[in-house]
Amino acid sequence: MTTVPKPVPVPVQLGLPRRLVEFALDDEPVRVPEGSTILDACEAVGKDIPTLCYGDTLTPKNACRVCVVEVEGARTLAPACSRKAEPGMTVRTDTERARHSRKIVLELLASSVDLSTTPHVAGWIREYGAEPDRFGPDAATVADRAPKVDNDLYVRDYGKCIMCYKCVDACGDQWQNTFAIAVAGRGFDNTISVEHDAPLTDSACVYCGNCIEVCPTGALSFKTEFDMREAGTWDEDAQTEATTICAYCGVGCNLTLHVQDNEIVKVTSPHDNPVTHGNLCIKGRFGFQHVQNRD
Amino acid sequence: MDLHFADAKPTDEERDAVDGYLGPPESGWEGGERTEADLRWARGGHAARDRRDLLLPALHAVNDRIGWISEGALDYVCRRLTIPPAEGYGVATFYAMFSVNPRPARVVHVCTDLACAARGSRALVAALEDRLGPAGAARDGAVWQPSPCLGLCERAPAALVIQAGTAPGSGPSDAGQAEYATAVVAPATAEGVVAAAHAPQAAPAEPQAAEAVPQAGDPGLVLLRRIGIVDPADLDDYRANGGYTALRHAFALGPSGVIREVLDAGLVGRGGAAFPTGRKWEATARQPERTHYLVCNADESEPGTFKDRVLMEGDPYALVEAMTIAGYAVGAHRGFIYLRGEYPRALHRLNHAINQTRARGLLGENVLGQGYAFDIEIRRGAGAYICGEETAIFNSIEGQRGEPRSKPPFPVEKGLFGKPTAVNNVETLVNVLPILERGAAAYAATGTEGSTGTKLFCVSGTVSRPGIYELPFGATLRELMDLAGPPESLRAVLLGGAAGGFVRPDELDIPLTFEGTRAAGTTLGSGVVLALDDSVELPRILLRIAEFFRDESCGQCVPCRVGTVRQEEALHRIADRTGAAAATDIALLREVGQAMRDASICGLGQTAWNAVESAIDRLGAYE
Ligand SMILES: Cc1cc2nc3c(=O)[nH]c(=O)nc-3n(C[C@H](O)[C@H](O)[C@H](O)COP(=O)(O)O)c2cc1C
Ligand code: SF4
Ligand code: SF4
Ligand code: SF4
Ligand code: FES
Ligand code: FES
């Protein structure tokens, strides 16, 4: 594999420029292309809205509700990640009501799921003054679910799963079209599962790892990462990333190699690649061992 | 689609059950014998996947026959319908009436919900634990389990026995399996339930639907006027009693004329959301997309609600006629009745009515010879309150998990199968008959300006004459309670069901209208009026409500999935506390409740705290 300095080609704009929609965002007028979401508009003006189930390569499922904002005239709050900007609407992102719901969502999640490997969440918990402990020591949780270690490539640790549906969407009709996993059960007892809760090795899984790519919590992780975390040797600060092109076939997918102590510890793929959008196949995702066989 | 299956095989009975519903497989690709020809072409394209909506009925076919859904059976269903088995499993595990673990052929659902709790379900459960063993434990070929409201509240406490088996009338199978049978035991005694649990086919017949209507025969009735008067199995009797005059009027008016009448009549939905029906129809009819659908919401699972059941059991042709009119108005040629899975008699009656009307040309290619094609299909729910939500109902019919969709887009734009769809409650639809028979003005002369016509109320709990009452909008809660015979020491009335709210005995002058209940800070909801006397332990009732929402949350969004659990936990902690000892948890409940109301995706989570909040604020629970 060769390291390419600037791997991501600039997408060519096709079609007519989109019309602009103007609305009031926190009392400031903003203009965004038609079809943009409130979240897009917030990003454009540099406003930070917490998100968990939103994925930049997926259709919003708006399940977590941590991104809710207040839309004037609406009975309920609206998820910024999926609500489309409409001309003349008045949106407030930082009202008491919106902050309250975000705080409670963070408390509900942090008290029921192991968020220890979810990026950003600790900061939001501080920012919103969330106190997950106030539900008491007996609060029901899924954090005690045992990790499913049933193959050599990746681990499913559903004690960390917030049920964002992203892995299911990535495995299903949005990207991979393998449909190996789905949501099973109902309510608090629901979970991501293959049929009959079988091991992954008995399922349709093709180990593309595209579910790992989109998982926002670390519930899905490379076996290498899982083992290193168990051993206490996982150290993100000591890792470097290098983006290269997969050498296995002619498609030319981008691979970002995460390297710690001169070993590849996991492989991701840039989401802004206009062809693959972060998706890979088993070879690009997991077939890195030969690069570092030193004997 | 390249599906992967493990090698679990269906048993002969399971295969027979599935093929009995879907017909024999056409090829090896669908799970039939593999032939040489199968190796030369593949099936798996759109045509094969287009049958996804048969998943729920196919799972019912297995569950009805065997009593549970094995790996082999589920895989076979998925193979037949080209469905990834992981998704099939996700659907099968969504519904409370299905089990993916072995269980006996006879399952006894014992209602432990609000009205039954007010009428002795605790003692019943204790007696059943004695005689049938603990809930969930199989004994003597039967198992019992607690159930949310069975929609039989006027005969509380209630139980429903379902015996899996061969199609009724087909005799026992080669393997000696008995016929499918159901038995409603209500009011239930332990003896009655135990007997029905072992021989449901020998259980005494249910009382006629009219028994649930204390006013039956009263000439002032509109929606209930035929109940107890006409034979619900006789189309001629229905026609002799005014049936099908409304449809003739509809054809004379044309679709937009019908919508005009419904708008002028001021009809609003009776399913709980109180949305103007005419506007919904107009918006659906207007969509340029050619295929439109009509869905009748007969999922009726709001605790304390049983009006739709009584209408369907007592006057099924009225619903068929009303749906034909609605379909005509909105430009639909196919209508679906999404019927609650636990309503065996309504299913039977509606099936019969649909077959009869079809045979007589009142459904089908050319309704009444007017060149309008319309037909109705019944889809059975399988034990999920959430499937009554107007978008979850689409997912359920389409063979997906019954999770609500996010709106917009609204059903009138993208509903069932992505097409413009009008969803209406049973009672709403039945109102269209008097509107067309009498004219909008005459209809609107009853009731108030904001709430026209009459309303059905489901009265249950500690009253002497529980049942369905029909009153003009504007009657007060007191008038209704007086009809039903209130208890001597009324403690509270739950209006609108678990998603509604409590009112105090000194608030009985609340007018029963949409605007009147709104002004009083409460709701009519689905028409539930559940009376509780002072022998009822309020904290237990509130816990039951919380448990209901926790059980019925689809689990999609965080505020509801986890919030309903935290609500129940807090109510558990304060079940025996009052005053300062409960204050911290009440504050916590308020905070969680506000976020559920503001940030949940659908009405379930948004209303899950309403009743508890009203009990704290209006009744002074925990003070
Ligand atoms: C959780 C939930 C359950 C519901 N269940 C029912 C039901 O069983 N029957 C019903 O008619 N409406 C039910 N609704 C209301 C429907 O979403 C919808 O508003 C109604 O069917 C529309 O019909 P209508 O306009 O005729 O009332 C439910 C709503 C929610 C949020
Ligand atoms: S690795 Fe690929 S095929 Fe396997 S579950 Fe994840 S997305 Fe699906
Ligand atoms: S495993 Fe990860 S991606 Fe999948 S639902 Fe859970 S948190 Fe989301
Ligand atoms: S509010 Fe509850 S029932 Fe509705 S979508 Fe969310 S989790 Fe599901
Ligand atoms: S990020 Fe918007 S709902 Fe989850
Ligand atoms: S049947 Fe038991 S509460 Fe309705």
Task: Identify whether residues A159 and A129 lie together within a single domain.
Answer: no
A202 in reach of chain B (CB within 8 A): yes
> What digits encode the pLDDT tens for the residues B285-301?
999 999 999 999 999 99
Strand B490-495 to B501-503 pairing: antiparallel
The CATH number for A260's domain is 2.20.25.90
Q: For residue A7, is it within any domain?
A: no
Distances from the Cα of A88 to the Cαs of A46, A73, A77, B258, B340, in angstroms?
Answer: 21, 12, 17, 35, 42
Both A234 and A286 in a single domain? yes
Q: For residue B186, which atom of ligand 6 is closest to its CA?
A: 1
Q: Which of B468, B460, B476 is nearest to B513 (CA)?
A: B476
Considering only CA atoms, which of B380, B202, B230 is closest in space to residue B315?
Answer: B230
Name the β-bridge partners of B74.
Answer: none
Regarding whether B417 and B434 lie in a shared domain, the answer is yes
pLDDT, position A221? 98
| Shared domain check, B542 and B466 | no
Please report the residues numbered 262 through 281 in chain B whose beta carbons come closer than 8 angstroms to any beta carbon of chain A.
Answer: none
DSSP secondary structure code for residue B112 in this structure: -
What backbone phi and psi angles, to 5 degrees, belong to B263? -65, -50
Asked if residue A261 belongs to a domain, the reply is: yes
Of residues A3 and B574, more confidently modeled: B574
Residue type for position B504: R
Residue B370 lies in a domain: yes
Q: Which long-range contacts (CB under 8 A, 24 or more apart) does B225-232 make?
A: B226/B314, B226/B315, B226/B318, B227/B310, B227/B311, B227/B314, B227/B315, B228/B314, B230/B315, B232/B313, B232/B314, B232/B315, B232/B316, B232/B317, B232/B349, B232/B353
User: Contact A195/B553, CB-based, under 8 Å?
Assistant: no
pLDDT of A14 reads 58
Contact of B74 with chain A, judged by CB distance below 8 Å, is answered with yes
- From chain A, the residues in CB contact with B606 under 8 A are 76
Q: Are residues A255 and A132 in the same domain?
A: no
B551 in contact with A, Cβ within 8 Å: yes
Confidence of residue B177 (pLDDT cuts 50, 70, 90): confident
Residue A12's pLDDT is 54
Amino acid occupying residue B615: A
Q: Are residues A30 and A124 in the same domain?
A: yes
Indicate if A58 and A165 belong to the same structural domain: no
Is the confidence at residue B233, as pLDDT, over 70? yes
Q: Is B227 a domain residue? A: no
Q: For strand B142-147 and strand B106-111, is the pairing parallel, antiparallel, or unpaired? A: parallel
Strand locations in B467-599 (E) = 467-472, 490-495, 501-503, 528-533
The distance of B6 to chain A (nearest Cα, Å) reads 7
* Ligand number, closest to the Cα atom of B117: 6
Q: Say yes or no: B434 and B496 in one domain.
A: no
Q: What are phi and psi of A259, to 5 degrees?
A: -120, 130
Say how many domains are in chain A. Answer: 2
Compare CB distances from A65 to B8, B384, B558 and report the shortest one's residue: B558
Edge-to-edge strands, sheet with B292-298 = B375-380, B332-339, B292-298, B421-425
Give me ligand 4 centre to Cα B176, in Å.
43
Cβ B566–A82 below 8 Å, yes or no?
Answer: no
pLDDT band for position A1 (cuts 50, 70, 90)? very low
pLDDT score recorded for residue A4: 46
Whether A164 and A253 share a structural domain: yes
Angle at B281 between CA B278 and CA B285, to 5 degrees: 140
Distance in Å, alpha carbon of B609 to nearest chain A alpha carbon: 15
Domains held by chain B: number: 5
CA nearest B439: which of B218, B266, B237? B266
Q: What is the mean pLDDT of residues B299-319?
A: 98
Q: Give me the domain span that covers residue A250.
A: 154-292
Cβ–Cβ gap A62/B601 under 8 Å: yes
**Distance of CA A52 from the midpoint of ligand 5 (Å):** 6
Question: Does the CB of A161 have a partner CB in chain B at under 8 Å?
Answer: no
Mutate to test the pocket of ligand 2, among A193, A208, A213, A268 (most ligand atoms within 8 A of CB): A208
Contacts of A260 (CB under 8 A, 6+ apart): A228, A234, A235, A238, A239, A240
Q: What is the pLDDT of residues A148-168, one digit of tens each?
A: 999 999 999 999 999 999 999
Name the DSSP letter for residue B147: E
Residue B288 lies in a domain: yes
The single residue listed with the structure tokens 């066989």 is: A293
Domain end among A89, A109, A138: A138
Same domain, B18 and B63: yes
Chain B residues with beta carbon closer than 8 angstroms to that of A97? 598
Domain annotation covers residue B206:
no
Domain holding B423: CATH number? 3.40.50.11540
Give residues 286 to 315 of B whose Cβ lies within 8 Å of A: none
- Is the same domain home to A48 and A159? no
Indicate whether A188 belongs to any domain.
Answer: yes
How high is the pLDDT of residue B46? Answer: 64
Residues B522 and B544 in one domain: no
pLDDT in tens, B556-565: 999 999 999 9
Which residues form the pocket of ligand 6, taking CB atoms under 6 Å from any ligand atom?
Answer: B 111, 113-116, 149-153, 156, 158, 303-304
Residues B307 and B429 in one domain: yes
* Rounded distance from Cα A82 to ligand 3 centre (Å): 19
B210, part of any domain: no
User: Do residues B62 and B155 share a domain?
Assistant: no
Q: How far is CA B286 from CA B126, B259, B266, B313, B329, in A?
A: 56, 11, 19, 33, 10
The model carries a pTM of: 0.96
- Would residue B454 count as lying in a domain? yes
pLDDT (tens digit, 9 = 90+) per residue, B61-97? 999 999 999 999 999 999 999 999 999 999 999 999 9
* Ligand 1 centroid from CA B391, angstroms: 9
Q: What range does the domain containing B513 cover?
A: 446-533
CA distance A203 to chain B (A): 7
Distance CA B406, CA B418 (A): 13
Task: Answer left, alpha or beta for residue A65, where phi above 0 means left and psi between -120 and 50 means alpha.
Answer: left
pLDDT-derived band at B28 (thresholds 50, 70, 90) equals confident
A43 and A112 inside one domain: yes
The answer to whether A104 and B563 have CB atoms below 8 angstroms apart is yes
If asked whether residues A158 and A254 sit together in one domain, one would say yes
Chain B residues in contact with A179 (beta carbon < 8 A): 1, 3, 84, 86-87
B390 and B264 in a single domain? The answer is yes
- CB atoms A100 and B588 under 8 Å: no
The residue of chain A nearest to residue B601, with distances taken between CA atoms, is A63
Query: What is the full DSSP assignment across B455-473?
Result: EEEEEEES-SS-EEEEEET
Instruction: Evaluate the CA torsion angle A282, A284, A287, A289 in order and state its sign.
Output: negative
> Has residue A6 been placed in a domain?
no
Q: Are residues B245 and B334 in the same domain?
A: yes
* Residue B424 Cα to chain centre, angstroms: 12
Q: What is the mean pLDDT of chain B?
A: 95
Q: Is the CB of A69 under 6 A from ligand 5?
A: no
The stretch B483-508 carries a mean pLDDT of 96
Cβ of A196 within 8 Å of Cβ of B594? The answer is no
A180 lines ligand 2 (CB under 6 A): yes
DSSP B261-303: HHHHHT-B-SSSS--BHHHHHHHHHH-SSS-EEEEEEE---ST
B556 neighbourhood in chain A, CB within 8 Å? 63, 163
> Which has the closest alpha carbon to A230: A162, A149, A293?
A149
pLDDT at site A6: 47
Per-residue pLDDT band at B38 (split at 50, 70, 90): low
Quote the tokens at residue B65: 């026959």
Same domain, yes or no: A125 and A200: no
CB contact under 8 Å between A63 and B90, yes or no, is: no
- Closest to B504 measured CA to CA, from B483, B518, B490: B490
In this structure, is residue B223 part of a structural domain?
no
CATH at B490: 3.10.20.600
- What's the A39 CA to ligand 5 centre distance in angstroms? 10
Domain harbouring B164, CATH code: 3.40.30.10
DSSP class of A145: S
CA distance A45 to A252: 34
CA separation for the pair A224, A250 (Å, rounded): 27
Q: Which chain A residue shows the shortest CA-CA distance from B549?
A: A187
Q: For chain A, what is the mean pLDDT?
A: 94
Question: Same domain for B285 and B366?
Answer: yes
Whether residues A165 and A276 share a domain: the answer is yes
Output the CA–CA distances (angstroms, integers) from residue A146 to A156, A157, A225, A268, A293, in the order listed: 9, 7, 17, 25, 32
Q: What is the pLDDT of residue A82?
A: 96
Binning pLDDT at 50, 70 and 90, where does residue A8 land?
Answer: very low
Our CA-based measurement puts residue A30 at a distance from the nearest CA of chain B, in whole angstroms, of 22
Among A87, A105, A138, residue at a domain's last position: A138
CATH number at residue A37: 3.10.20.740
pLDDT at B47: 66
Among residues B533, B568, B598, the one where a domain terminates is B533
A161, B145, B331, B387, B448 from B327: Cα distances, Å: 44, 39, 6, 21, 28
CATH number (domain holding residue B611): 1.20.1440.230
Give the closest-approach CA distance of B100 to chain A in angstroms. Answer: 8
- Domain boundary among the residues B443, B474, B502 is at B443
Residues B417 and B493 grouped into a single domain: no
Question: What element of type H or E holds A166?
Answer: helix A166-171
Residue where a domain stops, chosen among B533, B562, B593: B533
Do A88 and A191 lie in a common domain?
no
Going from the C-alpha of A94 to that of each of A43, A68, A87, the distances in angstroms are: 15, 10, 20
Confidence at B32, pLDDT banded by 50, 70, 90 = confident
Give me the residue label for tokens 């008699």: B345
- For residue B114, what pLDDT band results from cuts at 50, 70 and 90? very high
Asked if residue B99 is part of any domain, the answer here is no
Query: Is B58:B25 a contact under the CB 8 Å cutoff?
Result: no
Tokens of B71: 């790996």
If asked whether residues B265 and B387 sit together in one domain, one would say: yes
